[in-house]
Chain A
Amino acid sequence: QKEVEQNSGPLSVPEGAIASLNCTYSDRGSQSFFWYRQYSGKSPELIMSIYSNGDKEDGRFTAQLNKASQYVSLLIRDSQPSDSATYLCAVNRDYKLSFGAGTTVTVRA
């Protein structure tokens, strides 16, 4: 079992729609959780961090964490073509990040 698993893509959504991304993790000792966005050929860019159960909203992005279910999600509202990228879920225990393989999102105009 991989430490961090993400729903397989690619995910194609129309402009203005909601994109929903899911992530599960295996280590119950994980302490903090992140979503990074990665454009093709570029490095990961932090878009959201979440540390406690519940929802966290930042602009058009909402992260949800459920530690009992070992589940993290990211909603992108009002999707824009500039949101087309690979989204990486990352889980932190102590110091190092463990990443999922990423979900590629394409927003079609």
Chain B
Amino acid sequence: DTGVSQDPRHKITKRGQNVTFRCDPISEHNRLYWYRQTLGQGPEFLTYFQNEAQLEKSRLLSDRFSAERPKGSFSTLEIQRTEQGDSAMYLCASSLSIGGPETQYFGPGTRLLVL
């Protein structure tokens, strides 16, 4: 399977714990995005990378959230001191930016439940 992959697929944690999610984009894609989706809503943009550079962070991304893409390949999203409001589906997407319209392809998501 050459699509976007995410790990883990499900995570249950207790409030106050730290969690880390991983995303592996489609191999030739240079852009990688993180979104968050809560029940009944569409995905909301969190942040994106062009190669290894993080180019924008949404206001939704509090100081407890940090994302990296160290070698321009896979990315990690860490949430520190989790809160119950962090419970959501965290979606990763990737695209190939070569000028012109881009299409973002989504991974299967990581479903986080904070107890």
Interface residue tally for chain A (C-beta within 8 Å): 23
Interface residue tally for chain B (C-beta within 8 Å): 25
| Least CB separation from B46: chain A residue | A96
A-B contact count (CB 8 A): 59
| Least CB separation from B108: chain A residue | A43
Cβ of B25 < 8 Å from any Cβ of A?
no
Cβ of B101 < 8 Å from any Cβ of A?
yes
Interface pair A43/B109, CB less than 8 Å apart? yes
Interface pair B105/A88, CB less than 8 Å apart? no
Interface pair B107/A92, CB less than 8 Å apart? no
Q: Which residues of A contact B105 (CB under 8 A)?
A: 46
Q: How far is the CA of A51 from the CA of B89 in the complex (A)?
A: 28
Interface pair A32/B45, CB less than 8 Å apart? no
Say which residue of A42, A98, A100, A102 sits within 8 Å of B45 (CB atoms). A98
Known contacts A96-B33, A96-B56: does B103 contact A4 (CB below 8 Å)?
A: no
Q: How far is the CB of A51 from chain B (nearest CB, A)?
A: 5
Interface pair A34/B43, CB less than 8 Å apart? no
Interface pair A101/B41, CB less than 8 Å apart? yes
Chain B residues within CB distance 8 Å of chain A? 31, 33, 35, 40-45, 48, 55-56, 89, 91, 93, 97, 101-109
